[in-house]
Every structure is written in C-alpha cells, then in structure tokens.
C-alpha cells in the first residue's frame, strides 16, 4: 500500500468550528489562494526523493490518522502535525470534484513533501468525475484517495454527496470502481454508522458489503449516525451518541477489510483500547486543538525509537516554516492559527497564545513575535510557579 510512502526525516486553535464540513465545499483549500510551495511541490519532491517507507514496519497505514477537517487540515496544519508525528496518516480537507475539475488544481492539491503519508479526500458522486480526480491525486503524489460519505451538511447534500450517499450504496460502489480503475492508489471510504433514524446494524453492514464488493478495502467509520436534517454538522459531531460497538461488529463481520474507527476519541489509552478491536483510529478535533497530544503516538503506537523531540524543538522547526512563508512574501498568521494549541496544558500557554493572536503583531516577522510569545510564556511560568 502506498500510504507507507513517506516523509524523510522531519525535524525533524483554535480555528473556528463553523458548522460545516462541506459548507466550504466549493472553496476547499481556497484560504491558500496566494500560497504556492515554499520550496517545491510535494509531487516533485516526492518523485525526486523516491518513496521511502516511514510507517513502522508491519503496521497498517491506517493504524492512526488525523481526520479530514474543512478549514483546518490545510497544508500548513498538516506540516505542523507532521512535525509532531512522523507516522500518522494525514488527510486533507475535503475537496469537491467540481472544485478540482473546474478550479485551480495546484491551489487545491499542492502540498509539502514532508506531509507524506497524506491522503486526499474527495467529495462527489459522479463516477467519471471522481475517476478523473483520483487520477489527479496520483499525479500529484498523494498516497491515498478517500471518498467522503459522512458529511451531513445541507450544502453537501444539495450536491448529492457526503453522508446522503450512504442511502445509495450501489452508486458508491460505482464511484469506488471508477476510482479504482483510474488509479493504483488505495481508494478508501469514510462514512457514518447510519443516517437519520436508521439505526439497524444491517444498514451499515450492507453499505460496507456493497462497497467492498466494488474493491474498497479500507473503511473509516465515524461511529455515530449522520442526521441529514435538524442538526448542524457541528451539532452532529456530538449528537446522537457514539456507538463504537457497531464499528467493532463491522470488523468481526468483515475480518478481511481494514476498519478504522473515528469519533470522540482523545487519549492514547482510548486509542489503544480501540486498537484491540479494530485496525485503526482516526482522530479529529483533539489532534487539532491539542496538537501535543500526538507527541506520544509514534513511540506508543508505531514502536518508534525517535519521537518528535521536545515542544521547544517542534516550535523551532515550525518557526523555520513560518519564516520561509514570511520570506517568500506570504502571510504567516493563516498558518500560525493551527499551532495556537501547541503549549496547551503548560504554565504560560495562555500568554503565549495571546501574543501570537495579537492582531497588531501580524505584520511583524514571525521570529519577532516568537520572541515576545516565549518571553510571555516564560513570565507566565514564573507567575504560576
């Protein structure tokens, strides 16, 4: 599986949860409008360096991943996450087939070579369009292409994709088949355990069975129903209750498939507990809001002997990245918003965050802001002591 292509030696928030996974569907990645590669595109660099494997030997590429999150998991965010975990699989925000086929492809698809392994998530329901986009994903150097069958946003439903596709398993099967015919990348599906009030296990079992028959071997299952009406996507990430046992049952019924669970998981112990039952765990909000929670992943879940380093080292590498953005005339605060949680849970973290969030400082070189932020953090530490 090519998702084990990977980063070669990396150093090694608090964004808004704005009620959508797809409201920005047509503009996925548009925040990066002005942003091209800091160095070279992931595609070129991956090709230059060959596709060395980084995943811990013998581990499923889906063992641990960071979820696709619209407006959040852009290339800057993924770069930060990769500084903290070398092995977790990183997903892009969802990009619609329409945006890709008719929009600015580099703007949507470019990524930093360091992000590998990285998966492109697509939103769409037209097999030919999805096939064309899967080809693009391969050309750009992604490690996987994932189809979104889990987003409940109304706007996404109008486009007839996302979670409402769970009601049409044979269409999803057609989509998967078309994508598989178009690319040799793994084609995976992210979905819910049901839609609306349909809570019968047979519904999700038959969905998985039909899509698996079309060749999909990997399913990432958000363990709660999607409600297509009456809840905002944000509310639908808390309601109705999670039912992890449904995902475990899928694994028992389809032992040959890779089944990963998603939804509401936070701690390493919770992850370990799920890994006793299923093949993988996908973490969304906790990874974003508390990025340092990922620091123990590599050693605990991939047997890595060389964890990311200290928070200071990660911050230094991140600062290098911000410097490169700034030096090439790009604005750094858009990237920095993803790192505001880096020091969470330590004395002085709030002061550090306040400095980085200060609008008056946003035109300064990032290093100057960093000096002020560190001074504020250390003085906050002294006060707390």
Ligand X SMILES: Cc1cc2nc3c(=O)[nH]c(=O)nc-3n(C[C@H](O)[C@H](O)[C@H](O)COP(=O)(O)O)c2cc1C
Residues assigned a catalytic role: 151
Shorter beta-carbon distance to ligand X: residue 204 or 373: 204
Shorter beta-carbon distance to ligand X: residue 10 or 163: 163
Q: Report how far residue 119's alpha carbon sits from residue 65's, in angstroms, rounded to the nearest whole number.
A: 10
Shorter beta-carbon distance to ligand X: residue 67 or 80: 67
Q: Can residue 99 be called a binding residue for ligand X (CB under 6 A)?
A: no
Shorter beta-carbon distance to ligand X: residue 234 or 311: 234
The conformation of residue 236, written as its DSSP 8-state character, comes to: G
Task: Give the closest residue to 172 by CA, choosing from 142, 206, 202.
Answer: 206
Residue in the block written with tokens 């599906």: 189
Site string for ligand X, 31-70 (x = CB under 6 A): ------------------------------------xxxx
Residue in the block written with tokens 């604005």: 331
Q: Minimum distance from CB of 238 to ligand X (Å)?
A: 9
268-292: b or e for each residue (b if 16 or more CB lie within 10 Å)?
beebeebbeebbbbbbbbbbbbbbb
Among 35, 62, 72, 219, binds ligand X (CB under 6 A): 72
Site string for ligand X, 5-24 (x = CB under 6 A): ------------x---x---
Shorter beta-carbon distance to ligand X: residue 6 or 264: 264
The conformation of residue 5, written as its DSSP 8-state character, comes to: B
Residue in the block written with tokens 């996908």: 282
Site for ligand X in 234-253 (CB under 6 A): 237
Q: Minimum distance from CB of 74 to ligand X (Å)?
A: 11
Instruction: Identify whether the C-beta of residue 67 lies closer than 8 Å to the C-beta of residue 287.
Output: yes
Q: Can residue 222 be called a binding residue for ligand X (CB under 6 A)?
A: yes
Q: Can residue 127 be called a binding residue for ligand X (CB under 6 A)?
A: no
Q: Can residue 263 be called a binding residue for ligand X (CB under 6 A)?
A: yes
Take residue 154 and report the two structure tokens written for it.
């109304």
Q: Minimum distance from CB of 1 to ligand X (Å)?
A: 20
Instruction: Identify whether the C-beta of residue 241 lies closer than 8 Å to the C-beta of residue 224.
Output: yes
Instruction: Identify whether the C-beta of residue 97 lies closer than 8 Å to the C-beta of residue 133.
Output: yes
Among 13, 65, 97, 148, binds ligand X (CB under 6 A): 148
Q: Minimum distance from CB of 24 to ligand X (Å)?
A: 8
Instruction: Identify whether the C-beta of residue 93 lies closer than 8 Å to the C-beta of residue 69.
Output: yes
- Helices assigned H by DSSP within the chain: 42-49, 75-84, 97-102, 105-109, 127-140, 154-158, 169-182, 201-213, 244-253, 268-275, 285-289, 297-302, 311-327, 333-336, 349-357, 366-384
Q: Minimum distance from CB of 168 to ligand X (Å)?
A: 17
Site for ligand X in 173-202 (CB under 6 A): 190
The interface region with ligand X, picked from 145-153, 205-213, 329-337, 363-371 by CB under 6 A, is: 145-153
Rule CB under 6 A: which residues touch ligand X? Answer: 17, 21, 67-72, 93-94, 121, 148, 150-151, 190, 222, 237, 262-265, 283-286
């Amino acid at each position: 599986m090519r998702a084990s292509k990977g980063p070669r030696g990396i150093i090694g928030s608090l964004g808004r949860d704005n009620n959508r996974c797809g409201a920005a569907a047509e503009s996925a990645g548009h925040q990066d409008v002005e942003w091209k590669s800091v160095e070279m595109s992931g595609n070129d660099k991956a090709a230059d360096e060959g596709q060395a494997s980084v995943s811990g030997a013998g581990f499923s590429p889906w063992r641990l991943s960071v979820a696709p999150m619209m407006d959040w998991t852009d290339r800057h965010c993924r770069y930060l996450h990769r500084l903290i975990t070398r092995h977790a699989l990183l997903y892009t925000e969802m990009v619609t087939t329409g945006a890709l086929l008719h929009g600015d492809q580099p703007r949507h698809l470019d990524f930093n070579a360091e992000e590998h392994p990285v998966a492109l998530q697509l939103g769409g329901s037209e097999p030919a369009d999805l096939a064309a986009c899967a080809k693009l994903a391969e050309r750009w150097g992604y490690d996987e292409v994932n189809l979104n069958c889990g987003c409940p946003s109304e706007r996404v439903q109008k486009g007839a994709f996302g979670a409402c596709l769970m009601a049409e398993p044979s269409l999803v099967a057609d989509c998967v088949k078309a994508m598989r015919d178009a690319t040799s990348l793994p084609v995976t599906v992210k979905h819910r355990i049901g839609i609306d009030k349909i809570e019968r296990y047979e519904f999700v079992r038959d969905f998985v069975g039909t899509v698996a028959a079309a060749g999909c071997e990997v399913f990432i299952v958000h363990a709660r129903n999607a409600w297509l009406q009456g809840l905002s996507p944000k509310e639908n990430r808390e309601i109705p209750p999670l039912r992890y046992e449904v995902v475990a049952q899928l694994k028992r019924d389809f032992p040959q498939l890779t089944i990963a669970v998603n939804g509401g998981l936070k701690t390493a112990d919770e992850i370990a507990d799920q890994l006793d039952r299923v093949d993988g765990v996908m973490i969304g909000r906790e990874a974003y809001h508390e990025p340092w929670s990922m620091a123990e992943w590599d050693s605990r879940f991939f047997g890595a002997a060389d964890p990311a380093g200290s928070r200071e080292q990660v911050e230094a590498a991140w600062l290098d990245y911000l410097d490169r953005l700034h030096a090439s005339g790009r604005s750094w605060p858009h990237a920095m918003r993803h790192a505001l949680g880096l020091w969470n849970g330590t004395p002085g973290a709030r002061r550090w965050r306040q400095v980085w969030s200060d609008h008056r400082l946003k035109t300064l070189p990032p290093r100057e802001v960093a000096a002020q932020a560190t001074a504020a953090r250390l003085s906050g530490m002294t006060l707390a002591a």
